[in-house]
Structure 1
Amino acid sequence: MVYGYWQSQCLYIATNLGIPNLLQSESMTVEAIAKATSTKVETLYVLLRALAHLGVFVEKPGRVFAATELSQLLITNAGPSVGHFLMHITEPSMWDAWRELGDSLKTGEVAFERAHGKKFYEFFMTENPDSRNLFNNAMSFLTNQAIDSLFEVYDFGQFDTVMDVGGNQGALIAYIVKKFGCKGILFDLPHEVETAPDYLSKQGLDENQVKVIGGNALEEIPKGADAIVMKYFLSVFSSQDTIKVLTGCKKALPKEGKVILLQTLVPPRGAPVEYPDGTIPALAAVQMMVTNPGGYWRTEQEYKELFETSGFQLEKVIYTGTSLTVMEFSTLS
């Protein structure tokens, strides 16, 4: 654990330089890699050798480096990948926020806001386009890796129209509409859905299949769907604001409407703390706290209580075999 940040920073630098992309089809000497990345040969060699010892690359005779299964995961020029998620989590702005965690525990400030003087989404979504691109691709990657397991256990085809609240550029709703043939609505903050029409078009979907709406879930959620899906969205809100969002969901849904919460749950005491995919929810909860006021990952019971306060009842809990759990709620009469 003490050495953890050494590894993640080496990974970030190599991925940010595009070295996994360079090595995906052929081996290269360190001199050739240095030339392609505008870095110094000898210092780059020390970094690449360390990553080779970690199994990220392979070092061959003559200071030649080649790809591995791990480095293939970090390729960023062929769609959303672990590489995008890695760079989002470990980019300098995130490191700066974590540096403020100790003081924020004493002051009550959000560590990210303390470090940057701006809210997380304001910083990433409106002022730093490179960071915004990383975030969008990181979220799409998380959806892509979980979707097959999700669709094996939950049937969205029971609904006529599904609305993804907090759906970013639309990866999840695109999958749902294409798989089950229902209509879709994508709802998120206006600057979050700016790239959605282009993204959805690339997925072969038009505005008649997925309607894109910009707005604020804390103020009002549009009507028109018989089911609302939220993936990780409630993690960013305090309990008070979560109730505001859920109250808005109830107003937007018909009497028989459902809310499908897709969430990684913090295990109760005595349960395994790590999911099979390596996710440790209690640690991820700290990340949410670092970046969002009042935001953190919750237990199943905590979500159940928040939904009940907002006028919903828990119908079923379905475990997907990954760190993503399905909680289905119906409106109380």
Structure 2
Amino acid sequence: MTTTLAQKNMEAKKKVFGMIQAFWESQCLYVATRLDIFNILSEGSQSIETLAEKTATKAEKLYVILRALGHLGVLEEQPGKIFAATEVSDLLVTNAEPSIGHFAMHIIEPAQWDAWKELETCLHTGEVPFERANGKTVYEFTRDEDWSGDVFIKAMSFLTDHAVDALLDVFDFSRFGTVMDVGGGQGGLISKIVKRFGCKGMLFDLPYVTETAPAYIQKQGVAADAVQIVTGDVFEGLPTGADAIVMKYFLSSWKDEDALTILRHCREALPKHGKVVLLQCIVPDLGEPTVCPDGIIPSLFATQIMVAVPGGAWRTQKEYERLFTASGFQLENVVHTGTNLSALEFGLVD
């Protein structure tokens, strides 16, 4: 059947309405997560009155938000204003392991929201929207604000848990005697690598970031002596002793000049046979798929990075290759996974 001009126009309007409503959806999701709604419903169905009592909110106003989440398929609304959990809401539970609920709270928290309000102005001034809105960098903010810092670390741990199992099924780390995770946070990635492949591990990050790492690594069932925790500043240098350096979603936080400094320190820290394994979501070039298998849209995440950090950006594969080539590396292997994560393996050029 031929699509009429009116039908095409209506489809275009639906797309625009969807984009307009997207921030309403995210705010409803954020509020419900902050109120522990998904944690409460994981214990069983609840009436709106009970949910309001447990969250110290007004039942009639809370209902409006939860009804919307019901229409979006996040919750199930039953007769009598009873709400029940769904497969979607189960993913958003935040009182157990790091979850996508932590990631949602990190990305949608007021400090991030305020940053997006400054995007238009900063396109003219060249400022970092997050810094203009909050008076400090995102890293300083998460260091200084206890709740935000805790949510940020758990959000990053979730991203690791979400993507790494698929990676480890297709990328072999057993070739390396010691693997160092640069910017590795609590140690989720290096714990999985060590446990899966039997190699030694090193975790490198800022001191305040790694504070919870020993307990977290032990909780993963990894022996205390299997992962060496080293703290420091990546711009001052990296420790030696690793055969491979892994960076997950890390290099994308820095502008090209800073990324080149980091890669120079990687080169200085590695032996001649050493490798850098860049674990990253790759922004597609023209003609390539624009949505990852797990639903992440790299170009939108690239915009979020630009909003949050100075000069940071998710890059295309060609852009990463140019940075590594300028730093004395060459691309040797590319492995894609079933999520948003790809592994780009670089070796040193003699």
- Which residue of the partner structure matches residue 329 of structure 1? 346
- Which residue of the partner structure matches residue 253 of structure 1? 270
2:104 to 86, 101, 126: 86
Q: Name the SS for the 1:184 alignment partner.
A: strand
CA-CA distance at 1:206 after TM superposition: 4.0
2:319 to 267, 285, 302: 302
Q: How does 1:194-273 map to 2 (within 5 A)?
A: 194-273=211-290
Contact 2:294/2:338 (<8 A) preserved: no
CA distance in 2, matches of 1:19, 1:302: 42
Q: Name the SS for the 1:208 alignment partner.
A: helix
- Which residue of the partner structure matches residue 10 of structure 2? none
- Which residue of the partner structure matches residue 44 of structure 1? 62
CA-CA distance at 1:184 after TM superposition: 0.4
After superposition, the CA RMSD in angstroms is 0.9
- Which residue of the partner structure matches residue 127 of structure 2? 109
- Which residue of the partner structure matches residue 166 of structure 1? 183
Deviations 1:179-216 (Å, cap 9, x if unpaired)?
11110000011211111112112223344110111111
Matched, 1:283 2:300: yes
Name which of structure 1's ranges 232-241 and 267-276 shifts more when overlaid on structure 2.
267-276
CA distance in 2, matches of 1:129, 1:211: 26
CA distance in 2, matches of 1:91, 1:98: 11
CA distance in 1, matches of 2:209, 2:188: 13
Contact 2:177/2:200 (<8 A) preserved: yes
CA distance in 1, matches of 2:31, 2:330: 47
CA-CA distance at 1:236 after TM superposition: 0.6
1:176 to 193, 196, 201: 193
CA distance in 1, matches of 2:71, 2:264: 52
1:124 to 132, 142, 162: 142
Deviations 1:52-110 (Å, cap 9, x if unpaired)?
11111111111111111111111111201111111111011110111111111111110
Deviations 1:251-279 (Å, cap 9, x if unpaired)?
00001000000000000111121112111
CA-CA distance at 1:122 after TM superposition: 0.5
Q: Name the SS for the 2:286 alignment partner.
A: coil
TM-score normalised to structure 1 length: 0.98
CA distance in 1, matches of 2:224, 2:90: 35
Q: Name the SS for the 1:326 alignment partner.
A: strand
- Which residue of the partner structure matches residue 68 of structure 1? 86
CA distance in 1, matches of 2:280, 2:326: 19
- The aligned amino acid for 1:289 is M
Q: Name the SS for the 2:105 alignment partner.
A: helix
Q: Name the SS for the 1:39 alignment partner.
A: coil
CA distance in 1, matches of 2:257, 2:233: 15
CA distance in 1, matches of 2:221, 2:88: 31
- The aligned amino acid for 2:249 is Y
Q: Name the SS for the 1:112 alignment partner.
A: helix
Structure 1 stretches of 4+ moved >2 Å: 204-207
- The aligned amino acid for 1:145 is H
- The aligned amino acid for 1:17 is L
CA distance in 2, matches of 1:44, 1:70: 19
- Which residue of the partner structure matches residue 22 of structure 2? 4
CA distance in 1, matches of 2:303, 2:314: 8
Q: Name the SS for the 1:191 alignment partner.
A: coil
Q: Percent identity?
A: 57
Q: Which runs of 5+ in 2 are unaligned?
A: 1-18
CA distance in 2, matches of 1:112, 1:254: 38
- Which residue of the partner structure matches residue 22 of structure 1? 40
